[in-house]
Amino acid sequence: MNGQYGKSEAILMDKEILQRAVEEQAGENLAGCIAKAEGIHFNQVYNLRLGYRNILEIDCLWEFTSLARLHLNNNRIEKIVGLEGLINLTWLDLSFNRINKIEGLQSLLKLEVLNLNNNKISVIENMDTLQKLTHFCIANNHIGQLDNVLYLRTFKNLFTLNLFGNPVSKEDNYKFFIAAHFPDLICLDYRVLKEKTVSINLIYICRDLEDNYNQDIKKIAVATLEQVAKDNLENNMSANVRMLFTDKDTVMDALATGHDNHLVKINDRETLLLTRVNAWKVTLMKGIQDKELKRNRMRLSDIYRYMDHLREHLEELQ
C-alpha cells in the first residue's frame, strides 16, 4: 500500500497542518486540555502524530525542539529530510511511505526506535550516528544482501530487529545467520529468539568457521613442507622457521592441538552466552519497569497540575 489511501490529494506539511495536529491531540488528556486553554507552543510538544494525512514532504518542524516521538506513518513521503533540528527525538515512525533511501538521520543522536517498515529501501546505510538505537524495523522493503545486514553490528544496544518480508529473509539459514552475528538480539521478525537458537547456532557457525580455517592452514602447511623438502621456497625464510618445516608429523600435531584448543574455547562460549542472555532479560525487564514507573509519575503530575488549575479558577470565582 505504501501510504496510498483513497484518492485524497497529497499535501505539503506547513504550520497550519502542524497546529491542527497539535490541537487535535491536545484534547486527548488533561495536560493537553490545559495547554490548549493556555496556548500551545511547538517547542513544548513531546509527541506529534501526523499519520494518515497524505503528507508528501517533511517540513516546518524546526520549532519542535523538545519533540521525543514523531509519527509520520501511512503518508506519501519519498525522502527523509527536515529532521535536523529534532535533536531530542527518541522515536521515529516512517512506516508505510515511499522512501527508497535511508538518509537525513545524522542529527538524531538520541534515537532509540526507528520504524521504516513497508517502504522501498534496498540498502541499510547512513545510520552511523544512531548508536542508541534499540529497535530497528525495516520489514517489507527490498533488502537483498545478508552482508548488508551486518552493517547493524555496530549498534551495541540493538535488541529488536525486523527484516520480515525482505528478500534477505528468505535465504537459507537466515535466522541462524542473524542469531550468530547478533548475539545481543532478543527479538527477530516479531518473535523472541529462543536461547537455544541463539546459542546452538552461534556455536555451530563458530565450529564450522574454525574447521574451514583449520583446513586452509593445513593446505598452506603441506605446501610449505613440500617446498622446504625440495628447497624451492620463493620467499626468504629464516633458518629457525625452516627447521620447523622439516618434520611433517610435528607440524601436523601442532596444527591439530591448536584446532582442538580453539574448539574447547568455542564450547565454553555456549555457557557464557546463556549466562549473558539471562542477564539481558533481567536488564530488559528492569528497563520496562522503570519506563512504566516514569510514565505513571507523569500521569500523576498531569492530574495534580489539572487540580491546581481547577483550584485557581475556583479561587478566582470566590
At 68, list the grid cell: 521525543
The ranges of the chain with pLDDT < 50 are: 1-6, 30-32, 34-35, 37
Helix (H) or strand (E) holding 244: helix 239-244
- Cα separation of 275 and 62, whole Å? 45
pLDDT of res. 267: 66
Give the pLDDT of residue 176: 78
Q: Is 176 left (phi over 0), alpha (psi -120 to 50) or beta?
A: alpha
The Cα-based distances of 236 to 231, 232, 239, 246, 250 in angstroms read 11, 10, 10, 16, 22
Rounded distance, CA 96 to CA 116, Å? 8
C-alpha cell at 150: 551486518
Class of domain 11-193: alpha beta
Q: What gap in Å lies between CA 14 and CA 293, rounded to an integer?
A: 36
Query: 253: helix, coil or strand?
Result: helix
pTM of model > 0.75: no
- What are the sequence ranges of the domains in the chain? 11-193, 198-302
Give the Cβ contact number of residue 193 at 10 Å.
Answer: 21
Residues 128-143: tens digit of each pLDDT = 999 999 999 999 999 9
Partners of 93 in the beta sheet? 71, 115
pLDDT of residue 207: 65
Nearest to 94 by CA among 143, 40, 57, 65: 57
Cβ distance 75 to 54 under 8 Å?
A: yes
